[in-house]
Amino acid sequence: MKKLGILLILVSFIAQGQIKRVEPPFWWVGMNNTHLELVVYGKNINRFNVKIKSSGVVLTKVQKTENPNYLFVDLDLSKAKAGTFKLLFSHPKLKNFKYKYTLKARQKNAASRKSFDNSDVIYLLMPDRFANGNPNNDSSSAATEKANRTDKGGRHGGDIQGVINHLDYIKELGATTIWSTPLLEDNLPTYSYHGYAITDTYKIDPRYGTNQDYKNLATEAHKKGLKLVMDYVTNHWGSLHWMIKDLPTKNWVHQFPKFQRSNYRMTTQFDAYASKIDAHLCMDGWFDTTMPDLNQSNPLVLKYLIQNAIWWIEYAGLDGLRVDTYSYNDKKGIAAWTKAITDEYPNFNIAGEVMMHQQSQIAYWQKDSKLAAIQNYNSHLPAVMDFTLHDAVAQVFNEDKATWDKGMIKVYKNFANDYLYPNPYNTFVFIENHDTNRFNQIYKSDFNKYKLAMALIATVRGIPQIYYGSEIGMMGDKNQGDGDIRRDFPGGWTNDKQNAFTAAGRNDAQQKWFAFTKKLLNWRQKNTAVQTGKFSHYIPQNNVYVYFRHDTSKTVMVVLNNNAKAQILSLQRFSENLKGFTKGTDVLSGESFDFTNTSIKVKGKTPLIIELY
Helix (H, G, I), strand (E, B) or coil at 591: coil
Residue pair 405/449 in contact (Cβ under 8 Å)? The answer is no
> Quick check: is 324 catalytic?
yes
Residue pair 550/534 in contact (Cβ under 8 Å)? The answer is yes
Catalytic residue, candidates 159, 284, 293, 353 = 353
> Quick check: is 145 catalytic?
no
Distance CA 366, CA 270 (A): 13
Backbone torsions φ then ψ of 5, nearest 5 degrees:
-65, -45
Residue 100, strand partner residues: 86
Distance CA 467, CA 348 (A): 23
Distance CA 196, CA 216 (A): 22
Residues whose CB is less than 8 angstroms from the CB of residue 93 and which lie 6 or more positions away in sequence, other chains included? none
Distance CA 539, CA 412 (A): 7
Distance CA 459, CA 588 (A): 13
Backbone torsions φ then ψ of 314, nearest 5 degrees:
-75, -45
Angle at 466 between CA 387 and CA 457, to 5 degrees: 65
Residue pair 232/322 in contact (Cβ under 8 Å)? The answer is yes
Largest Cα–Cα separation, the chain: 108
What does the buried/exposed string (b/e) look like for 440-460 if buried means 16 or more CB atoms within 10 Å of the residue's CB?
Answer: bbbbeebebbbbbbbbbbbbb
Instruction: Sheet with 544-550: list strands edge to edge.
Output: 534-541, 544-550, 555-561, 606-612, 583-586, 592-594
Catalytic residue, candidates 128, 200, 324, 432 = 324
Task: Enter the DSSP assignment of 397.
Answer: T
Distance CA 275, CA 257 (A): 20
Ranges of beta strands (E only) in 193-325 are: 200-204, 227-233, 320-324
Task: Enter the DSSP assignment of 488.
Answer: P
Residue 483, strand partner residues: none
Where helices occur in 489-555 by DSSP H, the ranges are 508-525, 528-532
Catalytic residues: 324, 353
